Structure formats: C-alpha cells, structure tokens
Amino acid sequence: MTIDSIKRIGIREYLGAKSIKPQFERAGRAMYLSPFRQENTASFSVNHDENVWYDHGIGVGGSIIDLVARMEGCSVGEAIRRLENEAFGGSATGIGAGAHSFFSHREASAASQRPEPEKPRIEIVSVGELKHPALVDYLADRGIDPAAARKYCNEVRYRIGDREYFAIGFRNDAGGWELRSRSFKGSSTPKNITTIRGGGDRDTSTTSASANGSDTVMVFEGFIDFLSYLSLKQNPSPTIDTTVLNSVANLRRAIPFLESHRTIHAFLDNDEAGRKTLESLREYLPGSEVVDQSPFYRNHKDLNDYWKEQAADKIKQPVLTEKATTAVQVRRSVPATPMRKKGRGL
C-alpha cells in the first residue's frame, strides 16, 4: 500500500468505530467534541471531501495517519504500519464500506487482528546505589549535583533480549523506571509520572492536596531537568510539591495531582511540544495559575542546557579567582622601592 492509499482510509469511519459521533454536519464537514480532551463545544473539524481533520482547540490537524498516531499514542511510522497491516485486504482504495468494515471489525473482534510484533522488552535485573564511574561522570557533565542524583536516582541494571546493560534509573509512581546513560534513553513499563511532596518525599497518591498544605507545584518534563533545578538551587530536595511527567504524553495522568494546587510553575522545553503542553495545562486547569518558567532559559532548549552552561562558568570562575589572588600575593611579596627623604640626593 502507498502512503496516498492509506491516507484515503476514512476518518469518519475510524472515529465511528470508536463510538465518536459528530455533533453536527454540513456541506461535507463535521464537527466533533475533541477526542483529545474534555470540552462542551465541538472544536474538532473533519473535512470528509479531503479526508483531513483539524482540532481548533490545540491548533493541530492532519491526515488519518496523524490522527491514529495521536489517538493511539504511537509514532507516525507505527501508525502507518498499523493502518497498512490491518486495512481490509491490504488494499485501501477509498472511503466507503470497506473502510467501515475494517474499523468495525478491528474494534469488535480483537482476536481476529493480526498480532503486532513484540517490541524488545526491558527487564529490570537489579537496582542499587548510583556509583558506576561512567554514570557519575555522565551526570557531572550535565552539571547535576551528586547529592540530588543519589537521593532520587539509582543504578539500574536491565536486560534487553539476552544482553544486560546499566543506566541511571529514576522511578515513577507506578514502579517503572526512566533509564538514561550516554548511549541510551528509554523506560521500563509501566510508564507513569513521578510525584514528590515538598520536602523531598516520593508520593504515589496523586489525587490529594499536599500534606504540608502547599498550594504551589512545579512541573518538569523529565528528571534531568528536575535534577538541574535542584542543582541550580543548591538544594538536594524541592521545598514545594513537584511533578515530573517523564514524557509530555503523560500530562493527563498528572492532572489529578496538579488540580489541587493554586499555582503551577511549568519548566517545559523551549519547543513545540513544550508550548503545546503549556497550553494544555492552562486548558485542563482553568482554576489554577500556570506560570511559564521557560523564558528564564529562553535561549536554550531546556533547563538542563541552561544549567550546564551556568555550571561550566561557575567551575571556571574559581580558577580565575585563584589566579587573581596569586597575582595579588606576588605583587605584595615584591619589596617596595624605598622613598627618598626630601632634600637628600638633590
């Protein structure tokens, strides 16, 4: 199947198979309540003639491929593979009964679907103290305070297939791990957010207000940015409640915890995903003040990029100060030229 033929699979049929019905239709267009968020006024538009969609609430749209990728939480490549493998007869030729049959069958009878090839599974082997020189050096290169890293991270050994590896591990609320090293970025299942109460304690209860009465919370996209903040503040524990999303795709999981706070400080990346996540925060939490902290590091991709630069400058500064101090000491050790008494030697 070509990309063009895949794009002709009907969006109307795909949404209908998921029991998503339009609020109204006219002149080849239909308006739906957005499948991406809660809303009372339809803002999700589908052009049936061109078979494209657009969500006016978040300013995003595209083809059936983009829709499947977003709704099913997979990459564009994976969305294409799913549509290609599961389409009727492998020969999608247009919008019609065939597409309707495909999606209805897909939803109604999972047993008849072609099994998806299994992705390499990450199996956690052991969890211990963070001490391997390669991992410690990696964190040092990113400017991370060792005390903060030891408090919130572990050295995790994991297996993929028959090979074993090790990485820095940051645990989420469901017991899964975010894994980082110089050569690897991934995570074990289950995927989830990480919540930390003010004072530094982890907390898997994400639905109640902070025990210390805090009405302020910080949000970070990943744990490296969270550790960068602690390193910048020279404090191994946050003083207020904190949520690490471990992926912007986990934002909805964080809402129950965030909504109990009046003020939300968002430390998100300076990219399109970060900006959209900020917009979503404000949309999901209209009763809270969402403060965008990214202008603080506006000339950098994220907080860690900013902090690495600052940390490097701080490392250089003591060296310059030491040289300057040595120069002063040298000048003071040189005997001063005696002053001649007035009238003498004239």
Asked if residue 220 has pLDDT above 90, the reply is yes
Tens-digit pLDDT profile for residues 83-106:
876 553 433 333 333 344 444 444
Percent of the chain with pLDDT over 90: 47
> What backbone phi and psi angles, to 5 degrees, belong to 247?
155, 135
Q: What is the distance between the alpha carbons of residues 259 and 287, in angstroms, rounded to a whole number? A: 8
Contact indicator for 193, 250 with CB cutoff of 8 Å: yes
42 pLDDT band (50/70/90 cuts)?
confident
CATH superfamily assigned to domain 3-112: Zinc finger, CHC2-typedomain (3.90.580.10)
| 248 pLDDT higher than 70 | yes
Give the tens place of pLDDT for each residue, 293-323: 999 999 999 999 999 999 887 665 554 444 4
Strand order in the sheet with 177-181: 122-128, 154-160, 163-171, 177-181, 184-187
> Residue 195's beta-bridge partner residues?
243
Q: What's the rounded Cα separation, in Å, for the pair 188 and 176?
A: 5
Weakest-pLDDT range from 176-180, 284-288, 342-346: 342-346
Select the more confidently predicted residue: 337 or 291. Answer: 291
> Closest by alpha carbon to 215, among 259, 250, 279?
259
- Indicate if the pLDDT at residue 222 is higher than 90: yes
pTM over 0.75: no
- Give the list of residues 6+ apart from residue 236 with CB closer than 8 angstroms, or none: 145, 147, 148, 151, 200, 230
Q: Which residue has the tokens 């005997």?
A: 335
**DSSP line for 143-202:** T--HHHHHHH-EEEEEEETTEEEEEEEEE-TTS-EEEEETTEEEEPSSP--EEE-TTS-B
Q: How far is the C-alpha of 212 from the C-alpha of 219, rounded, in Å?
A: 18
Say what percent of the chain tops pLDDT 70: 75
More confident residue, 259 or 330: 259
Contacts of 107 (CB under 8 A, 6+ apart): 17, 18
Domain ranges of the chain: 3-112, 122-297
Give residue 199's identity as a one-letter amino acid code.
Answer: G
Averaged pLDDT score across all residues of the chain? 80
